[in-house]
């Protein structure tokens, strides 16, 4: 399937989830994350904040535990820069720092910028992904642009409530692939 076909299909799959299913899948993914990911090497973790009404993976579960149990990790979050078509990254200071943007996404109003080369691990939102580590987002290219500015050894971890597709037919060489994808039922490592 193409990226566009997958976007449509996986938006429908998300919409079809009941609140109970959505909550259970998020909790299972959260458990998989902490049973698999070694956070001892991570000093800066960049993550998206979920659009809960679109049933994106609820990263708040992961963030809350990291803030409690791994105080050495600085959390970085995105803020869309509509003039440049990229997002800027800022250290997360707390809920007081957040406001809704034009798309209904929470993002920092202000803060200390995060230099992309300082990021050790990035949690990436997905609509779909394939068994080779190609990913499908909303199609704006924000994460490809951001990941291209990060260090080559920065870990790229996709979070998805669903299993992998066999292949994304129109994936290309400019797409930055995932190192791992964590789902409620498995952790998939890709040969990148």
Going along the chain from its start, the domains and CATH numbers come out as 3-37+44-116+133-170+179-189 (3.40.50.10420)
Please give the structure tokens belonging to residue 115.
């230099």
Contact residues for 18 (Cβ-Cβ < 8 A; gap 6+): none
Query: For the chain, first and last CA: distance in Å?
Result: 21
Of 85 and 75, more confident:
75
Distance CA 171, CA 2 (A): 8
Q: What is the pLDDT of residue 192?
A: 54
Quick: pLDDT tens for 4-18. 999 999 999 999 999
At residue 89, the pLDDT reads 94
- 24 pLDDT band, cuts 50/70/90, is very high
Strands 121-125 and 155-159: parallel
Among candidate residues 66, 174, 59, the one with its CA nearest the CA of residue 124:
59
The predicted pLDDT at position 102 comes to 79
pLDDT above 70 covers what percent of the chain? 99
Q: Which residues pair with 145 in a beta bridge?
A: none
Q: What is the pLDDT of residues 28-70, one digit of tens each?
A: 999 999 999 999 999 999 999 998 889 999 999 999 999 999 9
180-182 and 155-159 beta bridge pairing:
parallel
H helix or E strand, kind and range, residue 16: helix 3-16
**Of residues 85, 81, 58, 192, the one with CA closest to residue 139:** 85
Distance CA 181, CA 191 (A): 12
Structure confidence by residue, pLDDT tens digits, 84-135: 778 899 999 999 999 988 777 899 999 999 999 999 999 999 999 999 999 9
């Amino acid at each position: 399937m193409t990226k566009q076909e997958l976007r449509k299909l996986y938006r429908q799959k998300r919409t079809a989830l009941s609140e109970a299913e959505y909550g259970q899948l998020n909790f299972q993914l959260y458990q998989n994350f902490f049973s698999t990911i070694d956070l001892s090497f991570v000093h800066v973790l960049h993550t998206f904040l979920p659009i809960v009404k679109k049933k994106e993976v609820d990263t708040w579960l992961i963030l809350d535990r990291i803030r409690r149990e791994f105080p050495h990790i600085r959390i970085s979050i995105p803020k869309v820069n509509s003039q440049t078509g990229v997002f800027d990254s800022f250290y997360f200071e707390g809920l007081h720092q957040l406001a809704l943007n034009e798309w209904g996404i929470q993002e920092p109003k202000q803060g200390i910028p995060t230099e992309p080369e300082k990021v050790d691990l990035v949690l990436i939102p997905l609509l779909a992904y394939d068994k080779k580590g190609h990913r499908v987002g909303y199609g704006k290219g924000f994460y490809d642009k951001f990941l291209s500015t990060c260090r080559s050894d920065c870990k790229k971890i996709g979070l998805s409530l669903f299993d992998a597709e066999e292949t994304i037919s129109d994936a290309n060489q400019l797409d930055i692939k995932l190192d791992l994808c964590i789902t409620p039922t498995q952790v998939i490592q890709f040969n990148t």
